[in-house]
């Protein structure tokens, strides 16, 4: 409709220019025609702006704004423009009808006009979608779209995976507890960077009971904490505020200024699940916080679910090793293998030691390996022992990730006491005697 309307105006105004030039004299005629042409150009711009506004408002999604406006000097590279070839040609013909050439200034003017129209259209579309006037009494029920949306402090939202080592130091409270209730409260949109879509999230309140404090005191028998969850499904690490209800887990919380609790991370899981626990274990308050967390994850009791704990060792060893260190995790695993009377747990512990610490594998685990595994391990151990003999202390420091003299001695004593190879035990004893 707007194209036909602009074409009609072009013809009408072109005839008026011709009549005006015929009636006036030579000098006065030229000046009058120029003034008439300027008025015609303004009319063309107004009509074309109306056409752009109608076409922009008719679109369901505006893909272009001022932030991605295309180049003015090189029209051929306008990859994001919504102008069709027909619209450009029509505009050029409309300008030519009044004696104007479609030069770069004209094109720049039209780009600016399109940008402004699209900004207005986008603002109008946003207002229709996001802003609702609270007029009570018009409808019996308030439309859900007209309710004010919750917007948390952006600095309070922590979208990241749980780093247990960092969470141990940052948390105000660490508890072993059972989630009993998860309440989905309010939804909100979290802005992202310019090249990413906003995240649709919701505020969730989780109630915990059966509290066993690992860090922090005076927490009480029940705790509630706030967590910001993503509403859509995504591929990646586990997400959500907690695991299954009525299953134990270790939760890392921080305390707000008003005394309420928040999870240390959002979107991804803020806890370490311990579903094999059927009752809370005793916590040794004389040990460090890292000792307590690692001791819960790499200790299995006969009253716990043995099958579940054996399956969880695959993940828990990796978690513990990341924050507890090479040597501490090795000692916990070897203690679990030697002290447990559960054959399933011992076999799983040996498999984890062979996977992470094949050179340090205790002799009691050799029988758990197949003939092929034993052959491959022999070649691996021979190579590692050669590197130990060559590198000595420096090799040990790189192996265990520590330069502390006491850690080096702990490692050598472990090889002397538990290595199945006599050559390895002899070499470790010799290095242990050296100053």
Q: What is the CATH number of the domain that holds 239?
A: 2.40.50
CA distance 400 to 361: 15
pLDDT at 44: 55
Condensed to tens digits (0 to 9), the pLDDT of residues 6-36 reads 443 333 444 444 444 444 444 444 444 444 5
How large is the average pLDDT for residues 125-149? 47
CA distance 178 to 250: 9
**Per-residue tokens: 43:** 């009319």
Shared domain for 109 and 214, answered yes or no, is no
**pLDDT of 120 strictly over 70:** yes
In a domain, 431, yes or no: no
Condensed to tens digits (0 to 9), the pLDDT of residues 34-51 reads 445 555 555 555 555 555
CA distance 100 to 94: 9
- Rounded-to-10 torsion of CA 424, 427, 432, 434: -170
Q: Which of 51-60, 98-107, 126-135, 339-348 has the highest mean pLDDT?
A: 339-348
Instruction: State the chain's mean pLDDT as an integer.
Output: 76
Q: What percent of the chain is modeled with pLDDT above 90?
A: 48
Asked if 121 and 34 count as a contact pair (C-beta separation under 8 A), the reply is: no
Q: Pick the last residue of a domain from 81, 98, 130.
A: 130
Q: Pick the last residue of a domain from 273, 292, 310.
A: 273
Condensed to tens digits (0 to 9), the pLDDT of residues 171-198 reads 999 999 999 999 999 888 888 777 778 8
Q: Which phi and psi angles does 226 have, rounded to 5°?
A: -100, 140
**pLDDT of 144 strictly over 60:** no
In a domain, 324, yes or no: no
Domain count, the chain: 2
Helix, strand counts (H, E) of the chain: 13, 6
Q: Pick the last residue of a domain from 238, 273, 308.
A: 273
Range of 249's domain? 151-273
Shared domain for 205 and 262, answered yes or no, is yes
How large is the average pLDDT for residues 310-315? 92
Condensed to tens digits (0 to 9), the pLDDT of residues 74-88 reads 334 334 344 444 444
Is the four-CA dihedral 364, 365, 369, 371 of positive or negative sign?
A: negative
Condensed to tens digits (0 to 9), the pLDDT of residues 373-405 reads 999 999 999 999 999 999 999 999 999 999 999
**Per-residue tokens: 401:** 């990730």
In a domain, 426, yes or no: no
DSSP state letters, 128-173:
HHH-----TTSSSS--GGGSPPP---GGG--BS---HHHHHHH-SE
User: How many CA atoms within 13 Å lie on the side-chain side of 360?
Assistant: 21
Asked if 48 and 94 count as a contact pair (C-beta separation under 8 A), the reply is: yes
Distance set, CA 43 to CA 9, 30, 314 (Å)? 9, 20, 74
**pLDDT of 434 strictly over 70:** yes
Around Cβ 91, how many Cβ atoms within 10 Å? 21
Distance set, CA 111 to CA 105, 189, 354, 405 (Å)? 10, 32, 67, 71
CA distance 335 to 169: 26
Shared domain for 216 and 112, answered yes or no, is no
In a domain, 43, yes or no: yes
Q: Is the pTM of this model over 0.75?
A: no
What DSSP designation does 222 have? E
Shared domain for 104 and 181, answered yes or no, is no
What DSSP designation does 109 have? H
* Lookup result for tokens 């030519």: 96
Confidence bin at 204 (pLDDT 50/70/90): very high
Shared domain for 17 and 122, answered yes or no, is yes
Beta strand pairing call for 222-230 and 261-263: parallel
pLDDT at 216: 87
Shared domain for 90 and 194, answered yes or no, is no
pLDDT at 109: 64
Shared domain for 110 and 197, answered yes or no, is no
**pLDDT of 346 strictly over 80:** yes
Shared domain for 101 and 183, answered yes or no, is no
Confidence bin at 200 (pLDDT 50/70/90): confident
**Per-residue tokens: 243:** 């695991």
pLDDT at 10: 39
Shared domain for 118 and 176, answered yes or no, is no
pLDDT at 45: 58
Closest CA to 348 of 331, 363, 362, 365: 365
- Rounded-to-10 torsion of CA 427, 429, 432, 435: -80
Shared domain for 174 and 126, answered yes or no, is no
Shared domain for 57 and 101, answered yes or no, is yes
In a domain, 189, yes or no: yes
CA distance 415 to 420: 9
pLDDT at 88: 47
Shared domain for 162 and 255, answered yes or no, is yes
Residue 68: CB partners within 8 Å, gap ≥ 6?
80
């Amino acid at each position: 409709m707007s194209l036909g309307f602009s074409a009609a105006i072009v013809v009408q105004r072109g005839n008026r220019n011709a009549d005006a030039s015929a009636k006036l004299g030579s000098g006065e005629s030229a000046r009058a025609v120029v003034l008439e042409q300027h008025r015609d150009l303004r009319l063309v711009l107004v009509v074309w702006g109306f056409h752009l506004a109608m076409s922009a408002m008719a679109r369901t999604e505006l893909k272009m704004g001022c932030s991605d406006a295309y180049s003015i000097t090189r029209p051929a590279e306008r990859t994001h423009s919504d102008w069709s070839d027909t619209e450009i040609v029509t505009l050029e013909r409309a300008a030519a009808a009044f004696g104007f050439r479609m030069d770069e200034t004209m094109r720049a003017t039209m780009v600016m006009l399109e940008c402004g129209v699209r900004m207005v259209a986008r603002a109008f579309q946003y207002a229709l979608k996001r802003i609702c006037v609270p007029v009570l009494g018009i409808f019996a029920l308030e439309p859900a779209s007209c309710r004010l949306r919750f917007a948390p402090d952006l600095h309070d939202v922590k979208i990241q995976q749980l780093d247990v080592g960092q969470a141990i130091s940052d948390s105000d409270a660490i508890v072993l507890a059972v989630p009993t209730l998860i309440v989905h409260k309010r939804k909100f949109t979290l802005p992202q960077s310019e090249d990413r879509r906003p995240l649709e999230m919701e505020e969730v309140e989780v109630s915990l009971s059966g509290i066993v404090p690992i860090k922090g005191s005076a927490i009480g028998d029940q705790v509630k904490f706030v967590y910001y969850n993503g509403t859509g499904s995504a591929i990646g690490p586990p997400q959500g505020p907690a695991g299954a209800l009525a299953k134990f887990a270790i939760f890392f919380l921080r305390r707000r200024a008003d005394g309420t609790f928040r999870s240390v991370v959002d979107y991804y899981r803020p806890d370490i699940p311990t579903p094999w626990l059927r009752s809370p274990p005793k916590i040794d308050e004389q040990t460090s916080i890292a000792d307590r967390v690692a001791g819960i994850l790499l200790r299995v009791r006969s009253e716990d679910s043995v099958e579940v704990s054996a399956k969880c060792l695959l993940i828990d060893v990796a978690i513990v090793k990341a924050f507890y260190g090479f040597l501490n995790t090795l000692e916990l695993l070897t203690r679990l293998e030697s002290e447990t009377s559960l054959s399933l747990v011992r076999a799983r512990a040996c498999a984890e030691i062979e996977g992470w610490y094949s050179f340090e594998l205790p002799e009691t685990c050799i029988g758990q390996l197949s003939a092929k595994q034993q052959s491959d391990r022999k070649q691996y151990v021979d190579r590692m022992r050669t590197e130990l003999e060559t590198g000595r202390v420096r090799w040990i420091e790189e192996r265990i990730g520590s330069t502390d003299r006491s850690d080096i001695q702990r490692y050598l004593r472990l090889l002397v006491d538990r290595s199945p190879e006599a050559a390895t035990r002899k070499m470790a004893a010799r290095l242990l005697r050296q100053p």
